[in-house]
């Protein structure tokens, strides 16, 4: 599909209209380059290109309000896309469900769902933190910053990573056997981190894991 889209017409970017898959409400407009569209297709979550920061970003990576992609359509000129999503939380950073909440009379036609504090408090307990951490680990694999523990793991290869996964798995078992809830939380977090390192090393993305989990419901 990506080959059908004309990115060159608008300098490497295309507009992406995001629509609620259940109600048809337009949620937001953002821009994608070829890589952002590819990551959207690959992960099943919306990715965009920030023209101000000149970098890719995933919707909900800070707030936890991710968008699960249900369908992608492209227009007759092949230079824009419409993405139908299942929205977690709200689409707008202001706390409104849609970014289009004001009319030309200056009136708000849609109530604010979350205040800004609630939006970012939600993120701390959101599954989106897994995506954020996964992307950080991928970045470490590419840049290999000196002094990083993640760099150390990648430099020492698969056997080292597997050893750490095994060790952390054992720590979770011991904590659970001792019925120490705080230790279970701590050790499980360690295990999840090392599993994410393993997934990056193996070239497995989180979207593939979540798809497999959904098939087991």
Output the tens digit of pLDDT for each of the chain's 217 residues: 798 999 999 899 999 999 999 999 999 999 999 999 999 999 999 999 988 888 899 998 777 788 999 999 999 999 999 999 999 888 998 889 999 999 999 899 988 887 766 555 655 556 667 877 888 898 899 999 999 999 999 999 999 999 999 999 999 999 999 998 999 999 999 999 999 999 999 999 887 887 788 788 7
- CATH number of the structural domain 129-215: 1.10.287.1080
Domain ranges in the chain with CATH number 3.10.20.810: 2-123
pLDDT of residue 201: 97
CATH number for the region 2-123 comes to: 3.10.20.810
Beta bridge partner(s), residue 53: none
Q: Report the 10 Å Cβ neighbour count for 92.
A: 21
pLDDT at 33: 96
Strand partners, 47: 58
In sequence order, what are the residues at sequence separation of 6 or more whose Cβ sits closer than 8 angstroms to the Cβ of residue 112?
94, 95, 96
The per-residue DSSP string of the chain comes to -GGGS--GGGTT-EEEEEEETTT--EEEEEEE-HHHHHHHHHHSB-EEEETTTTEEEETTTTTS--EEEEEEEE-TTSS-EEEEEEESS-SSTTSBSSS--B-TTS-B-S-BSS-HHHHHHHHHTSTHHHHHHHHHHHHHHHH--TT-HHHHHHHHHHHHHHHHHHHHHHHHHHHHHTT-HHHHHHHHHHHHHHHHHHHHHHT--HHHHHHHHHHT-
In the chain, CATH 1.10.287.1080 sits at 129-215
Give the pLDDT confidence score for residue 119 in this predicted structure: 58
């Amino acid at each position: 599909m990506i080959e059908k889209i004309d990115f060159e017409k608008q300098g490497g970017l295309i507009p992406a209209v995001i629509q609620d898959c259940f109600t048809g409400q337009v949620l937001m407009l953002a821009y994608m380059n070829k890589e952002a569209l590819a990551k959207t297709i690959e992960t099943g979550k919306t990715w965009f290109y920030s023209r101000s920061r000149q970098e890719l970003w995933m919707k909900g990576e800070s707030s936890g309000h991710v968008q699960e992609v249900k369908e992608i359509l492209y227009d007759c000129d092949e230079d824009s896309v419409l993405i139908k999503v299942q929205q977690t939380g709200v689409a707008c950073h202001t706390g409104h469900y849609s970014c289009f909440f004001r009319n030309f009379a200056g009136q708000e036609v849609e109530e604010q769902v979350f205040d800004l504090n609630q939006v970012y408090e939600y993120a701390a307990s959101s599954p989106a933190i897994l995506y954020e951490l996964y992307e950080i680990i991928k970045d470490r694999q590419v840049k290999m910053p000196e002094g990083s523990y993640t760099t150390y793991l990648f430099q020492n290869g698969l056997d080292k990573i597997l050893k750490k996964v095994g060790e952390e798995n054992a720590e979770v078992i011991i904590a659970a056997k001792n019925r120490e809830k705080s230790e279970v939380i701590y050790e499980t977090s360690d295990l999840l981190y090392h599993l994410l390192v393993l997934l990056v090393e193996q070239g497995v993305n989180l979207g593939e894991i979540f798809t497999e989990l959904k098939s087991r419901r």
